Amino acid sequence: MCLVTCYFIYYLHNYYTHYPKEFAGEWQYGYKDAISYAEKNSAKYDKIYLTDSIGRPYVYTLFYTKYSPLFFYNNSKIERDAFGFVKVRGFDKYTFGGLADFKDKDVKKALYIISAGDTLSEKKFIKNILLPNGTPVLKIYED
C-alpha cells in the first residue's frame, strides 16, 4: 500500500508541477493571451490576423471573446474541401491562416499574431507570447 501511495504522490507532483510547463505548447497555449491582447486593442485595428500554426484559432477566438454562435454562423468565411472537412478562414475582424493569407491591400491598420518562427520585418513588433517555460510561441506585430 505504501508503494501505491508513493507512486500516486509522484504522479500528482508530475501532473501539477512539471506537465503544465513542459507540454503547454501541445495544448495551444498562447492563444488565450494573444486573443486577450487583440480584444483589448481591437478598436485600433481594421483587421486582426491570427496564425493557424499551433491549432484551430477560430475555436479559441470564439471561446475567449464569447462571440455569439448566431453571428458566427451568419458571418463566418468557411471553406470545405473535397472530403467535407471544414476550414474557418475568418469572421468579423478576424482572419485565420498563414502569412500568405495576410496580404489584404485595403487594410490600413492591422494586428498580426503569428508563429514565433515567423517574422514580419516590415511591421512594428509589439510583443512575444511565451509558454510557461519561457519559450516564445507567438509574436504580435502591427501596421
Report pLDDT digits (tens) over 101-110: 888 778 889 9
Q: Which residue has the cell 477560430?
A: 58
Could you give the dihedral angle defined by the CA atoms of residues 39, 43, 49 and 55, in that order, rounded to the nearest 10 degrees?
10
Distance CA 137, CA 46 (A): 24
- Enter the pTM of the model: 0.85
Report pLDDT digits (tens) over 11-58: 999 889 888 888 887 788 899 999 999 999 999 999 999 999 888 899
Distance CA 136, CA 30 (A): 9
Distance CA 84, CA 87 (A): 10
